[in-house]
Structure 1
Amino acid sequence: MYLYLIEHNIKINEFYEGKIIGIVSTREKAEKIVKEYERKKGFKEHKNDFKIKKIELDKDYYGNGFKSWYKKGDE
Structure 2
Amino acid sequence: MDLSFARSDRDLAAAMLPTGLAVLMAMVTSRQAASPTARIQTRLSMPLPVAALLAPADGCFHRAAATALHRWGEA
What range is the shorter-chain TM-score in? under 0.3
Larger RCO (CA within 8 A; separation ≥ 6): 1
Greater strand content: 1
User: TM-score scaled to structure 2, two decimals?
Assistant: 0.25
